[in-house]
């Protein structure tokens, strides 16, 4: 089963996913992330740091997804493991729909069409939702170019629209809850779905 965790920067995804590694230890999940741990992931991080061309950056994110699928996600799923990914394709559909909006007529449609033939669609996606102001306050130390309130507001609207379009896959998480409450809610839901999938 492929589980993804999504949300704007500062919504607590990394904290939640780290907690899941412990809370689900008996299920032996594969914990992973995008951008990933390969050289392609390094190239993505460099592109983010240089804040150069949005299309170059987008294509690197997609290349990173291809490497992630080939080297981590598909082998783990084939071995029957639960995979938990901190960010995945929905991050492209939400963020690059904003960064490419002056470059393409329909960035959201293009992004979905590029992914559709080769991606693996998650069985379950947690969307961590919190007011943009709260996210920006949490991010005061970790500044990256996407972390401007106006951009994050648009990104969060895109995430919420994706969730509304696919209520079977998405579960909304109140990211204003304390860490341990978010964690127990999400861990319980993964156990419930994993049990039902057996
Ligand atoms: N539920 C929470 N309540 C309050 N602060 C949190 C919560 N989750 C994470 N944080 C804090 O917010 C900041 C951003 O969290 P992080 O997990 O790195 O977010 P993300 O991976 O979504 O960018 C960190 O300083 C973290 O300790
Ligand atoms: C995976 C992914 C991330 N991003 C952005 C979100 C972040 O601003 C940045 C780095 O991601 P990440 O390292 O997950 O940052 P954080 O832990 O702060 O959430 O890249 C995209 O724009 N598109 C994508 O497909």
ipTM over 0.85: yes
> Residue 8 annotated as binding?
yes
Query: Rounded distance, CA 126 to CA 191, Å?
Result: 14
Who's near 126: CB < 8 A, 6+ residues apart?
3, 4, 5, 6, 16, 170, 171, 172, 173, 186, 189
Task: State pTM to two decimals.
Answer: 0.96
User: pLDDT tens digits, residue range 183-193?
Assistant: 999 999 999 99
- What is the average pLDDT score of the chain? 94
SS3 annotation, 108-158: HHHHHHHHCCCCCCCCEEEEEECCHHHHHHHCCCCCCCCCCHHHHHHHHHH
* Ligand 1 mean position, distance from CA 127 (Å): 14
Residue 146's pLDDT is 61
Which residue's CA is the nearest one to ligand 1's atom 9? Answer: 12
Residue 117's pLDDT is 98
User: pLDDT tens digits, residue range 33-92?
Assistant: 999 988 999 999 999 989 889 999 999 999 999 999 999 999 999 999 999 999 999 999
Is ligand 1 within 6 A of the CB of residue 178?
Answer: yes
CA-8 nearest atom, ligand 1 = 22
pLDDT-based confidence at 147, cuts 50/70/90?
low
Which residue's CA is the nearest one to ligand 2's atom 3? Answer: 91
> Residue 7 annotated as binding?
yes
Could you give all domains of the chain from N- to C-terminal order, each with its CATH number?
2-197 (3.40.50.300)
Is ligand 1 within 6 A of the CB of residue 179?
Answer: yes
């Amino acid at each position: 089963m492929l589980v993804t965790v999504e949300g704007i920067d500062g919504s607590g995804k990394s904290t939640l996913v780290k907690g899941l590694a412990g809370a689900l230890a008996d299920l032996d999940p594969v914990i992973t992330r995008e951008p990933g741990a390969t050289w392609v992931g390094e190239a993505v991080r460099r592109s983010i740091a240089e804040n150069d061309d949005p299309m170059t950056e987008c294509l690197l994110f997609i290349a990173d997804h291809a490497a992630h699928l080939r080297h981590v996600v598909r082998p783990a799923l084939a071995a029957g493991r639960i995979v938990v990914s901190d960010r995945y394709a929905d991050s492209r559909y939400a963020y690059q729909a904003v960064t490419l909006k002056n470059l393409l007529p329909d960035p959201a449609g293009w992004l979905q069409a590029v992914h559709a033939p080769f991606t693996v669609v998650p069985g379950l996606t947690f969307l961590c939702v919190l007011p943009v102001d709260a996210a920006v306050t949490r991010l005061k130390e970790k500044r990256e170019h996407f972390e401007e309130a106006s951009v994050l507001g648009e990104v969060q609207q895109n995430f919420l629209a994706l969730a509304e379009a696919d209520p079977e896959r998405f579960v909304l998480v109140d990211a204003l809850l304390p860490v341990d409450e978010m964690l127990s809610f999400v861990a319980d839901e993964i156990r419930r779905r994993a049990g039902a999938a057996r």
